[in-house]
Every structure is written in structure tokens, then in C-alpha cells.
A and B are shown apart, each in its own frame.
Chain A
């Protein structure tokens, strides 16, 4: 938390902005999927494992990107014991429909369980580590409501048609974020995968998405971490303009460019590629990759994206060890 208060931490912090559970952690703490996606107690147990098993400096829930979309009416497929939940087809809306934000949004789907999980996390480990509440960015929720090809086409051709969806999506995410803060979240992580230049044009980000993200960051009273997948060099400037306290990067983005854009006070989180390094390689490669990225100017060491559930614990511990090498005595 000191980093977010712009104070000097005693060492480099290490945690994950995205989902943290792995099969090995599930075994250790006796909480599993899909219950970890559905029930507050299991969710909190799994989230806390990131601190008790891995030694991360923050705990985080939830572990998927479907809570807001489900409460808005999308069908979610939970994925059983092993898989990550996703939005099922056919999607809820067509481009010409009028999207609705239900009055009882915060009582719908699995949202009450998520809020309760954050409350438990705060109570159990809130004195030791930061509690991160995860919400989803406007464009990504709108994408879940409309499906990818229609929203991508419309965003470029008739962007105004996407606005009503972004409007509802931003409000949904913000409402959830505020509820999580009330339940005890110290930080809010916004994942906005579909706003990546891998999918939308950077000018769509600037002319359409940025306004809603700004609104969201402003409405949330705590520091916000913005995470977008892929190489975000082309939109890093706009990500910074959202007013977020920190940006979470995948290693394929240019960390040094991000530092130039964000200046000395912007917080950069990133480090080790979640799939190609943490999941597939061994501890030595993880250590090397982590050190290399830290040298480029990271403030917080983290996986570049959600931890793949099959990731070996020893790799995650290796990452934490590297963070401990960087003391600020």
C-alpha cells in the first residue's frame, strides 16, 4: 500500500492484479473451483491463498471476468473444477437493442457472494496485505453483451451506437467497484481486455472508451490499477489519461515507454509473462525474466496477466524471492 500512497516501501512489492488461484493452491487451502467462483467462503479462501501460500503482498477477488455481465443478464458457463468461467453464446443484445441496467444489479448473479468474499478477505488479512477488488472495464463488459465481431465492427463504423452499451457497462463496473470498496477493498483493479490494440483501433480507445474509463476512475475513491492485455504501446498515453494510479502491463509492452509516458510518479506493475514463462518454464527462467523487467523501471513485480491455474507454486515463489532482492533501505 505504501507504493500507492507514494511512500517508500521497504522492498519491491509482489502480487497479481488479475486472478491468482492455481490447482496447487486449491489443494493447500481446501477450496476449489467452481465453488470459488460462486461462494463467498471458498472465494475468500482461494484469494487469501495468494498471501498465505505464495507470500504475495495483496489478495484479490474475483478470478474471472463474468460477474458484471452475468448480473446484466448474460449467460455464464462456470467451467467446472478446472476451467475459467466465460460468457456463453448467443449473447444478450444486438447492436440496435437498448441495454438495461437492472435496479437490483448488486443483488443479482454472484455479486452478493463476491462482496461478502471481499469482506472476509479484509477481516482475515486486511491488516497484513492490500485487498484488491476486481471489476471489468466498460468496453469489455459491452463486448460480453454484444459479442466480439459486432462490437468491433460497430466501434469503428458507427461508434455512437456503442455508447449506450458503454454507458451501462461503466455504471455496472463502477457500482460493483464502489460496493467492493465499501466491503473493504483498498484498491480496485480494472481489467479491460477488449480495449487492447490487439482488438480495437487505438483511436477508438481515445475517442470512445477513454471517456468512460475516466468517469469510472473518478467515481472510485481509491487508487485504481488499469490492466489491458497484449502490447499496449499505442494506447499507453490514453491509459495514463484515465487518471488511474497504476498501469499493469504484459511484458510484451514497452515498460520503458510506459515510464516516459507516466513520469516518475506513475506506478507501473508488470514483470513475468503468465503463460510462456510462469506457467511453462522453471524457477530460474522466472527469476531472470523478473530481474530483467524490474531493471526497466517497474514499481511492483507481478505476473503479466492472470496466473494460469496449472502454474507450479515454485515458479510463483521464485518471483516473490526476486522482489525481496530489491530492498529500498
Chain B
């Protein structure tokens, strides 16, 4: 009969183990240099990512460095975030590292790379509680979207103007208070009037599904985590009705 001498791994909740964060990227590239670029992104080392990108650019094309090093590295970060291994600071640091590399590649190409699409983000007029938006920005950036960050306490007209100027695939609004979320239907109706039927994801604090789905274009965002998935849907051509059908109700 076998006796158990070590109980350490019994009744242990693995999701509460916080030390696994120290892991390197999975193998994402056959090329050793590009793998190093990806590793630097996963580790959120901006300077290393820049240095290694420069080295990689000696023998690889900018698009190869982006598509086989920087972006696969960031995809690893998204996976680690989804699995609860990575936390927000690591995601922000990794985005910075990826963007530093991308800037060098763009310099070499002489033009900006085609990002997935633009997303305009803002926190409602009168509201300066923007922590929710900080999370949304970080996750959208991490997933390759071009984030037009309007910041906190943004007037209705400024949001509408930014949408007109940038023609984003999606626009987001966060609000802590029920008193400031009243800006959202105003933005939606102005966008509608201008013929800009952009999916408008609203969330945060006391913003309810019932409220957001009471006006056209509105899609309720329950958690900041949903932002990248929603942006992907918008990018693939889903309109606001389709997105509302999928994410709400």
C-alpha cells in the first residue's frame, strides 16, 4: 500500500499560484533572432525589443520581423492574459515593447504598417474615473488595434469629431456614473445623423445593459476584457445589431 507523504499538491488551487508569471514565450518562430524578438515582447522589455528588432532588420524584412516576431510575441501575451497568468502591467509593458519594435520596422519601410483597424476610446463627459478605459486601451493595443485614446471627461462633440476624422471600426465609452452615461445616447444619435453607423460599446460602473441597448448603435460591454473580441467582430464587418445580438441579451 502506498502512503502519501506530501500533501502539498492536494487541495491546492492552481489558479492561485502567482509565481508562474515568470515564464518565457512558447516557441513562435523557427528563426532564432525572431524568437528573441518575440521573447523580448513577452517579457515586456522595451529596450531589448528595440535592440533585437534592429538586429533582426539586418537580415529580415520589416514585415517579417513584425509578422514573425513582434506580433506572435504579443499573441503569446494575450494568451497568458486570457489564462490569468499575466496581469495588466505586463500587458501594458509588452504593448510598449511591441510598439517600439514596430516603430523601427515602420521607419525602415518608410511608411506606417497597416494596423488591424482604429478604435476610438473615451471616458464620458463629466467623468474623470478612467481606470476602466485604461484597461480597455491596454487590451486593444495588445491585440494590434490602433487606439485613438481621447482620455477622460470628453465632450460629446469631440467624440463625434474624432469618429468623423478617423473612421474607426468601433468606438467605446466608459462611465462610472449613471449621471454621466447620459452622454452616450447623444453621441450615438449624432453619429447616426452623420451616417456613421459605428458600433458603440459602452460600459463601466453603473452602466447597465438595459440602458445601452435602449439606443441605436449601443452595445453593452460587461467587462473590459471583452473589448478585443468585440473589436475583432467589428473589424470583420459585423454591424452593431449583429454585435449586440452576439454580446448582449
Chain A residues proximal to chain B, CB less than 8 Å: 77, 79, 82-84, 86-89, 148-149, 152-153, 155-157, 193-194, 197-204, 206, 233-234, 237, 257, 275-276, 279-280, 308-310
Contact = CB atoms under 8 A, between A and B. Distances in A.
A83 B127 contact: yes
B131 A200 contact: no
B117 interface: no
B180 interface: yes
B180 to A, nearest CB: 7
Contacts of A197: 87
A74 to B, nearest CB: 11
A200 B206 contact: no
Interface size bracket, B side? 35 or more
Contacts of A152: 88-89, 92, 134
Contacts of A88: 128
B169 interface: no
B237 interface: no
6 closest Cβ contacts across the A-B interface? Answer: A156-B89, A201-B87, A86-B128, A82-B179, A202-B18, A152-B89
Chain B interface, DSSP helix/strand/loop, else mixed: loop
A195 B208 CA distance: 25
Interface in B1-42: 13, 15-16, 18-19, 21
A86 B129 contact: yes
B105 interface: no
B90 interface: yes
Contacts of A257: 13
B128 A153 contact: no
A172 to B, nearest CB: 20
Given A83-B180, A156-B93, A310-B206, A148 B21 contact: no
Given A153-B93, A202-B87, A280-B210, 17 more contacts: A77-B128, A82-B177, A83-B126, A83-B127, A83-B179, A84-B129, A84-B176, A148-B131, A149-B92, A152-B92, A156-B90, A193-B131, A199-B87, A200-B88, A201-B18, A234-B15, A308-B206
B2 to A, nearest CB: 28
B208 A280 contact: yes
B178 A308 contact: yes
Contact of B19 (A200, A203, A280): A203
B134 A149 contact: yes
Contacts of A156: 44, 87, 89-90, 93
Interface of B: 13, 15-16, 18-19, 21, 44, 87-90, 92-93, 96, 126-131, 134-135, 138, 151-153, 176-180, 205-206, 208, 210
B18 A200 contact: no
Contacts of B178: 279, 308, 310
Nearest to A194: B131
A149 B92 CA distance: 8
A200 B87 contact: yes
Contacts of A308: 177-178, 205-206
A204 B88 contact: no
B10 to A, nearest CB: 14
Contacts of A276: 208
A157 B126 contact: no
B16 A233 contact: yes
A146 B134 CA distance: 14
8 contacts: A83-B177, A84-B129, A84-B176, A149-B138, A152-B134, A198-B88, A234-B16, A257-B13
Contacts of A77: 128, 153
Nearest to A155: B89
Given A89-B152, A148-B134, A201 B89 contact: yes
Nearest to B17: A234
Contacts of B15: 233-234
A199 B88 contact: yes
A88, A155, A280 — most chain B CB neighbours (10 Å): A280
Nearest to A75: B128
Nearest to B177: A83
Contacts of A86: 127-129
A200 B89 contact: yes
A215 B83 CA distance: 33
Contacts of B151: 89
A86 B131 CA distance: 11
Contacts of A202: 18, 87
A157 B16 contact: no
Nearest to B224: A198
A136 to B, nearest CB: 14
